[in-house]
Structure 1
């Protein structure tokens, strides 16, 4: 008899281009396992919006495995403890998994020891191989991109195994419905389902559709009203499609070049975690530890609820609450507003995004917030303060505002970005742009 092997699934919920799955299937009967571990991440436990996605993603993966004659085993608790227990129960000879770079997962991988077989598969290239001349991790994206480019295009994606050998006896599994991942009383996620269909099948379909439009991506990606982005970020975050599968689906021509760099940015943010694992909590530039942030619960709440009086900011924050997602250009505008206009610590915004975004990724979220704040090792300068009214007009966000801020639905194109009158109870500006800019610049000068 051949001992079974465990396939440990995390943010790699797919069958296509799944190196850990392929290796496990070659080694013996496969027991696919997902462990809902809220212990290892601590304060970085999965946010509420991600949990909504996870419920549907696990349901879709379970169905895909069943079609292959397999099944998905669900356990809850410490991943290390549950996997060790499962290995003892089943006599599993090894645990196969795709390598992850969040600090809590690196710690868990080390604790599992020699029985764990790790595979690269969630990035364009093995990140420990994309290093500086001295063997360290890159902290500047442009240098990282040059080094990664030498290894591109990525390897061809792996096909789905024809069959998945099943063990003689399946271990016990918890029920997905018992995890209470979906919100109730109230159900604040009613706007999610019209926008999203979690699962690998939808990820592959979206990639195919986006391949036909990727040539327009550079010109349309910053236009929130026309939605020129791929909307693949949550599928990438949960590993429902691999970056190299997406790269090859789009082709290696000039049309896809801009999007290739966005995929590379994901790799860079994960790579940076190897050098600075606490990047989600600590300023990349220590000088900013001295910056005097404002503590205003009222201003923070106004920003969270989309009631700042700046239409483009409010539209983005309301889109986020309703759908669990926000257009990328608007994310930068909204983040800059919190940090520079309201002078509120970037970590407050980072935590709000962590809880409300379906695509909240520890590396991406942390690095992006610090890039906007100017506190990161690779970031904008502090003095770069985005003008939300100008950004709104530049990127023609009128219809986007009308969609998400219904109070302004009847405002003319000439007034929509900064209406003089405040119809239907729409709030006055929480602070003037010039006043906010001068305050932020003064705060920056104080720490020089």
Structure 2
């Protein structure tokens, strides 16, 4: 009699390079399942952009699995036990997750299953290097990216080889329709997501096409072009990586077939930043909600709900900030350079706690990876590991002039100021009355006045940091 294995899908919604699936297929019959566990931070999806993505990604995965994917919502322990008993399965395989909640839960589930004579095995399907394998000579974790990557990762064992999709999978039971996926009710009752999803193709095939598009059209010139939001030098692979529709191992291996130049090297380092975020969260599990640098516990964050809501809606009166926040709301995505700009504006110009920004991003982003998001917000705020210096306050006007010089990005998402000349597009509040009139723009009516003075708010931020640190602040030359 063939052995039956449950393959528990989580952040690995693909068939190729899926170690758990491959091991199960070699062992015997396969029963693929996914469980939405709302007690898990990574699966608390209701009402978010990620929930919409997950719905479509599950449809794509189910199609790849010939309609055999079963989906559930609830307690994983009880669901796994019940499914195993109902189908005569004697093992449960899954690919590891690295958030604190899942590490604890997975250990408990392994013990729970083992005590009931069910084999439980986990595999690495989502990280190039296991977090416990990359340590300093004194066996402590790295806190700075460059030595983590160059001394830790690149000198460690090379990432594992990719594995092809199983050539033939023998499934347990009969195929079913998509009603189980619909039953999860991941889609909103009011279809606000239709426009957002128009430019995305969730699923493994969509991930492959996104990689091919980037490799052909965006990788060359990536190192510099990635900073310009109107250029095509971004991969848009982040949601596919977040849901495991493509593995970092597949991308790492594909890069070996590209010309080995500064663009490829820089893209590899960006993959390593993803690793670094997961690594930090593994070794420092309070990272998502506590300041990595405890000095920031004394930071006098402002409580300004009105300002926060204007930032969320893209109504700050600062065009590059508003363009980014509107791109986020409309598309479920934001260009990485702009993410830094809007985060700096919220935490430094508005003085709002970085955790508020992190929560909004997790609500709106289709690629909201818990580790990446929280580590990145701390980095910009200055409280994180290897963080941007406390005195680094992005000037959004200068950022717009440097990285959106022709205004293509701002005009796309802030069309009400599109008729302004490039000189004033990033700073309509400095435009002469006649220039505003010629553009048909009345500030305070069609587009808001700035909700904060950039220079004054920057000085307030520096003063707050100085007070927090208890010493004089010296800016870099």
Instruction: Structure 1: give runs of 5+ residues left out of the alignment.
Output: none
* Cα separation, 2, equivalents of 1:80 and 1:322: 37
2:233 corresponds to 1:228 = yes
Residue 182 to residue 44, structure 1, CA distance change in 2 (3 Å): closer
Aligned partner of residue 122 in structure 2, secondary structure: strand
TM-score (norm 2): 0.89
* Cα separation, 2, equivalents of 1:92 and 1:155: 29
- Whether the 8 Å contact between 1:316 and 1:326 is mirrored in structure 2 is yes
Report the CA distance between 1:104 and its aligned residue. 1.5
| Aligned residue in 2 for 1:377 | 385
Count of residue pairs brought into register by the alignment: 444
* Cα separation, 2, equivalents of 1:15 and 1:52: 21
- Whether the 8 Å contact between 1:74 and 1:173 is mirrored in structure 2 is no
- Whether the 8 Å contact between 1:73 and 1:173 is mirrored in structure 2 is no
Q: Any residues of structure 2 matched to 1:390-409 within 5 Å, and which?
A: 390-396=398-404, 398-409=407-418
17-26 vs 116-125, which moves further: 116-125
RMSD of equivalent CA atoms:
1.9
Aligned partner of residue 175 in structure 1, secondary structure: helix
* Cα separation, 1, equivalents of 2:105 and 2:85: 18
- Whether the 8 Å contact between 1:305 and 1:317 is mirrored in structure 2 is yes
- Whether the 8 Å contact between 1:73 and 1:172 is mirrored in structure 2 is no
Q: Any residues of structure 2 matched to 1:272-421 within 5 Å, and which?
A: 272-396=280-404, 398-419=407-428, 420=431, 421=436
* Cα separation, 1, equivalents of 2:355 and 2:47: 15
* Cα separation, 2, equivalents of 1:244 and 1:46: 30
* Cα separation, 2, equivalents of 1:62 and 1:26: 20
Q: Which has the higher contact order (CA 8 A, sep 6+)?
A: 1
Post-superposition Cα deviations, 1:204-231, rounded to whole Å, max 9, x if no partner, equal: 1121222223121112101011232101
Post-superposition Cα deviations, 1:173-221, rounded to whole Å, max 9, x if no partner, equal: 9611122211223x22132222111010011112122222312111210
| Aligned residue in 1 for 2:106 | 109
- Whether the 8 Å contact between 1:24 and 1:30 is mirrored in structure 2 is yes
Report the CA distance between 1:168 and its aligned residue. 5.3
TM-score (norm 1): 0.95
* Cα separation, 2, equivalents of 1:8 and 1:230: 28
- Whether the 8 Å contact between 1:74 and 1:174 is mirrored in structure 2 is no
| Aligned residue in 2 for 1:442 | 463
* Cα separation, 2, equivalents of 1:21 and 1:217: 34
Report the CA distance between 1:46 and its aligned residue. 6.3
* Cα separation, 1, equivalents of 2:12 and 2:349: 38
Report the CA distance between 1:136 and its aligned residue. 3.2
| Aligned residue in 1 for 2:147 | 143
Q: Any residues of structure 2 matched to 1:193-272 within 5 Å, and which?
A: 193-212=197-216, 213-251=218-256, 253-254=260-261, 255-272=263-280
Residue 382 to residue 216, structure 1, CA distance change in 2 (3 Å): same
* Cα separation, 2, equivalents of 1:85 and 1:43: 21
Report the CA distance between 1:295 and its aligned residue. 0.3
Aligned partner of residue 3 in structure 2, secondary structure: coil
Post-superposition Cα deviations, 1:348-373, rounded to whole Å, max 9, x if no partner, equal: 00000000000000100010000000
- Whether the 8 Å contact between 1:124 and 1:267 is mirrored in structure 2 is yes
Aligned partner of residue 220 in structure 2, secondary structure: helix
* Cα separation, 2, equivalents of 1:134 and 1:20: 33
* Cα separation, 1, equivalents of 2:396 and 2:42: 35
* Cα separation, 2, equivalents of 1:87 and 1:140: 44
* Cα separation, 2, equivalents of 1:401 and 1:238: 29
2:131 to 105, 127, 130: 127
* Cα separation, 2, equivalents of 1:118 and 1:132: 26
